[in-house]
């Protein structure tokens, strides 16, 4: 049983890692140490990232985590190719800042404003354009188009797309997101093994519904995701799947 559990967790981790092309500066970049990017800056200092030979590359989004190193709020600014695209308000704790870019850029800079001091603790660059079509665009509210087992695949698509934006596996609530993926994988794998009308299938989908409800409440209370249009669409898609399950 322990071996099977570890195997499932391994599959989840692999699926999460391959869901997007990611440059994680925690591992350095092009011969540069991670300490070039994950460090403390203050009073006009900055952290600079340049693509190889400064050749523009498509960037879908950036995910930065930072923690303040002074009593008052610190503030930072994010620039791409010299153009300001975001302002960071950084408290003493360790918040996440998802920043949508969606254009080709050659450089990214995080700048500490005068009087501010903070440490960048995480810096990820997502370089794959999102191609998630959106559950609500093709069959939300129409249960005739969904088999009961398809809910597993739909939830997996949604949660992987959300992870591309918010890096859910680094969240304090990552165990709950992993639980949702595990439930969704079990329902999805059930499709070709058992009748959709069977009691065991129904019980598995009800288990999925329970975790969806918990995750939904968590996502709806997340202010960062609420400020991202694509994240809003994905959360609504998850809510649509929940309603479809309830209508079965």
**pLDDT tens, position by position, 182-202:** 888 888 776 545 544 566 777
Q: What is the pLDDT of residue 119?
A: 93
Q: Is residue 183 within 8 Å of residue 151, measured between CB atoms? A: no
Residues 144 and 188 in one domain: yes
The distance from CA 128 to its chain's CA centroid, rounded to whole angstroms, is 13
Q: What is the pLDDT of residue 123?
A: 93
pLDDT over 60 (residue 76): yes
Of 66-75, 79-88, 89-98, 145-154, where does the model show the most confidence?
A: 79-88
pLDDT over 70 (residue 168): yes
What domain range includes position 169? 2-19+133-247
Alpha-carbon torsion, ordered 19, 132, 108, 106, to 10 deg:
100
Residues 37 and 111 in one domain: yes
Q: Give backbone dihedrals phi and psi of 45, rounded to 5 degrees, phi first.
A: -75, 165
Rg of the chain, C-alpha, whole Å: 20
Residues 160 and 207 in one domain: yes
Q: What is the pLDDT of residue 200?
A: 72
Q: What is the pLDDT of residue 121?
A: 92
Residues 143 and 64 in one domain: no
Residues 161 and 216 in one domain: yes
Strands (E) located in 113-222 = 117-126
Q: Say what the pTM is.
A: 0.54
pLDDT over 60 (residue 139): no
Residues 86 and 110 in one domain: yes
Query: Residue 176: which pLDDT band, with cuts at 50, 70 and 90?
Result: very high
Count of domains observed in the chain: 2
pLDDT over 90 (residue 161): no
DSSP 31: T
């Amino acid at each position: 049983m322990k071996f099977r559990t570890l195997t499932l967790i391994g599959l989840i981790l692999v699926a999460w890692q391959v869901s997007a092309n990611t440059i994680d500066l925690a591992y350095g970049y092009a011969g540069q140490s991670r300490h070039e990017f994950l460090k403390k800056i203050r009073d006009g200092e900055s952290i600079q990232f340049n693509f190889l030979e400064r050749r523009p590359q498509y960037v879908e989004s950036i995910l930065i985590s930072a923690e303040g190193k002074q009593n008052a709020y610190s503030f930072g600014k994010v620039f791409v190719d010299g153009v300001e695209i975001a302002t960071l308000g950084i408290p003493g704790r360790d918040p996440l800042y998802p920043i949508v870019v969606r254009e080709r850029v050659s450089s990214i800079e995080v700048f500490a404003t005068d009087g501010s001091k903070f440490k960048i603790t995480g810096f990820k660059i997502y370089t794959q354009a999102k191609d998630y079509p959106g559950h609500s665009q093709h069959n939300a509210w129409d249960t005739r188009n969904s088999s009961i087992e398809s809910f597993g695949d739909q939830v997996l698509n949604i949660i992987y797309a959300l992870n591309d934006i918010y890096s859910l596996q680094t969240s304090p609530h990552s165990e709950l997101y992993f639980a949702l993926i595990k439930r969704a994988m079990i329902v999805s794998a059930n499709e070709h093994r058992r009748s959709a009308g069977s009691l065991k299938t129904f019980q598995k989908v009800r288990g999925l519904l329970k975790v969806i409800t918990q995750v939904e409440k968590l996502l709806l209370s997340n202010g960062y995701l609420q400020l991202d249009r694509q994240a809003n669409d994905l959360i609504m898609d998850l809510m649509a799947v929940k309603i479809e399950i309830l209508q079965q």
